[in-house]
Amino acid sequence: MAKAAIELGVTQSAISQVIARLEADLGVQLFDRSQRGVTPTVYGEALIRRGRAALDEVRTGLQEIAFLKSEGMGLIRIGCPETLAASVLPLAIETFTKRFPAVTIEVETFTGAEAADKLSDRSIDLVLARDGPGLAVLSASSDFQVTRLFEDKLRIVVGAHSRWAMLAEPRLNDLADAPWIILPYGWGEGVLPDAFAAEGLPAPHAVLKTFSIHLRLHLVATGQYVTALPHSVFRLHGERFDLKELPIELPALPYGVALVTLKNRTLTRSVDQFIQSTNEIFKG
């Protein structure tokens, strides 16, 4: 209560009086009080959820007015895994900011498992996600709007001057003893064992598990390691890091990219424009 009073610039007693009036008007107890402070009841939680949505609508309205008044001013908060921040997002941002240079974009990287909470509490406006367990959860929920952008492929990548790049017809058997860099979990760990098993080979040895795209790129560029990357990542960074895609087909599993927003939420004009721009890039 003291912290709330400081945040709002009023006295603690004023906060208590407002809550007491609300409880009297609603006929329910909004907070449980104890020596350790106050915690919201189920009624309080319901009011907080709706209040957060109401404040979000006000913020959206103010940003839309600023956008209209200043010819494209606003804020866009985007969440995505690191692989998309290093592949799909740069092109989307570059294209959008050329048209709307006054808009500020904030990017937060996290795993797909966090996306639902981030969207639900309105701390971000939209999520870019890959096919996998996280996107499956979002797609199955009636709370989210999922728009497919494009289908990607997972490819085996090595340094352009590595011993594997020099093979005329590389096969998985040639990579069985290679030091692999993979994701801590998910596609990088599931697709590869399946591919090797189909050839009657044991799963490759992972010397490093990491989400960091740039760490993987730098290490693979040395020619000492092998990894599997989305083709969209290779297309953006392959030439810069002197990498090569090996012509080895991996199991055909969904690995597309989608854009996710919270249903029944009014988006700012700048967010709408970003979504439209991103759709045009990857569907055009």
pLDDT digits (tens, 9 = 90+) for 91-129: 999 999 999 898 899 999 987 778 899 998 888 999 999
Judged by DSSP in three states, 56 sits in helix
| 267: nearest Cα among 94, 67, 71, 89 | 67
Q: Would you say residue 71 has pLDDT above 70?
A: no
Which region among 147-156, 161-170, 214-223, 246-255 has the lowest average model confidence (pLDDT)? 246-255
Question: What's the CA gap between 251 and 191, in Å, rounded?
Answer: 7
Q: With bands split at pLDDT 50, 70 and 90, how would you rate the model's confidence at 53?
A: confident
What are the sequence ranges of the domains in the chain?
Answer: 2-40, 55-151+256-283, 154-245
Q: With bands split at pLDDT 50, 70 and 90, how would you rate the model's confidence at 132?
A: confident
pLDDT at 35: 76
Q: With bands split at pLDDT 50, 70 and 90, how would you rate the model's confidence at 20?
A: confident
Question: What's the CA gap between 83 and 132, in Å, rounded?
Answer: 13
Length, in residues, of the chain: 284
Question: What's the CA gap between 259 and 146, in Å, rounded?
Answer: 6
| 103: nearest Cα among 70, 126, 141 | 70
pLDDT at 68: 64
CATH architecture type of domain 2-40: Orthogonal Bundle (1.10)
What are 128's two structure tokens? 């870019």
| 280: nearest Cα among 135, 104, 130, 95 | 95
Q: Would you say residue 61 has pLDDT above 60?
A: yes
Who has greater pLDDT, 224 or 187? 224
pTM of the model: 0.69
- Render pLDDT for 271-284 as a digit per residue (tens, 0 to 9): 888 999 999 888 75
Question: Do 55-151+256-283 and 154-245 agree at the fold level?
Answer: yes
pLDDT at 188: 54
Fold of domain 154-245: D-Maltodextrin-Binding Protein; domain 2 (3.40.190)
CATH architecture type of domain 55-151+256-283: 3-Layer(aba) Sandwich (3.40)
In the chain the first and final C-alpha atoms are separated, in Å, by 53
Q: Give me the percent of the chain exceeding a pLDDT of 70.
A: 96
Check the CA dihedral 153-154-155-158 and report its sign: positive
Instruction: Kindly report the backbone phi and psi dihedral angles of residue 169, in degrees, each rounded to the nearest multiple of 5, phi listed first.
Output: -135, 80
For tokens 């860099």, the residue is 181
Pairing of strands 180-182, 144-150: unpaired
pLDDT at 255: 81
Q: Would you say residue 174 has pLDDT above 90?
A: yes
